[in-house]
Amino acid sequence: MIVRGNLPPGAWIVESEIAERLGLSRTPIRGALQWLHRDGYVIEHKQNRKTRSVVAPLTLEDARELYSIVGHLESLAGATVVTLPRVRRAKLADELHTLNEKLNSIASQRPVDPRRVFDIDKEFHARIIASGGGRRVTALHDSVRPQVDRYWRLYASSIIGELRVSVSEHGDIIRAIRKGESVAVTTALERNWSGGFDRISRLIDIFGERGSW
């Protein structure tokens, strides 16, 4: 609910209401909130000496950190991918190319379906993690990536206009994987995520942070 925006940034979290909504007792809800607090989805907000749990706001600095973390994690996976046998690298590059061509095709459509773009882009990056991410890198990526998705979902309609830029960045990633060039693939992945942050940051500047006080 948090990632999809059903619980928006800055929303108060009331255990009893969530328990009723999900048809559960408050005990598992309380445990889930502790986990969400640990991973940054939920924060504590003090007001009039009372502390309450709220959905973490979407802010420029938070986005900067999240995009940087995911970019570095995928760069680690990319560095492993280029060490794979040529046949496996070629297969992965072909799969990524197919996904990227779908994005390129969508970029020329009107109107553009943001959900379709989101799903394809997410699958593109998931293939890289699945091919080169070890157990710990994958676990960290699985923990942090949904927090990035919160920004994507909220600002998606405004990001679509720069879809071809992302497609071009993906092309650099694919070429580096196909050639087995370690420096090129890590650079391309970090550029894609830093570029993603630049695009999000411009939108945050325009539309403002969400859920802050």
Interval 161-170: pLDDT, tens: 788 999 999 9
Tell me how far apart the alpha carbons of residues 96 and 88 are, in angstroms, rounded to a whole number.
Answer: 12
> Whole-model pTM?
0.90
Percent of the chain with pLDDT over 90: 79
Q: What is the pLDDT of residues 32-87, one digit of tens each?
A: 999 999 999 999 887 777 788 999 999 999 999 999 999 999 999 999 999 999 99
Q: Three-state DSSP class for 135? A: helix
Task: Delineate the domains of the chain, giving CATH numbers in brackets.
Answer: 15-55 (no CATH), 60-207 (1.20.120.530)
CA 205 to chain centre: 19
Question: CB count, 10 Å around CB of 170?
Answer: 23
Percent of the chain with pLDDT over 70: 98
Mean per-residue pLDDT of the chain: 92
Parallel, antiparallel, or unpaired for β 50-55 and 42-47?
antiparallel
Q: What is the mean pLDDT of residues 118-135?
A: 96
Q: What is the pLDDT of residues 3-26, one digit of tens each?
A: 988 999 999 999 999 999 999 999
Q: Three-state DSSP class for 36? A: helix
CA 208 to chain centre: 19
| Residue 87 pLDDT | 97
Question: CB count, 10 Å around CB of 189?
Answer: 29
Answer whether residue 150 shows pLDDT above 70.
yes
12 forms beta bridges with 54
- H helices within 41-113, ranges in order? 60-81, 86-107
| Residue 158 pLDDT | 63
| Residue 213 pLDDT | 60
Q: Among 59-73, 87-101, 146-160, name the one with the lowest average pLDDT.
A: 146-160
| Residue 70 pLDDT | 97
Q: What is the mean pLDDT of residues 142-161?
A: 85
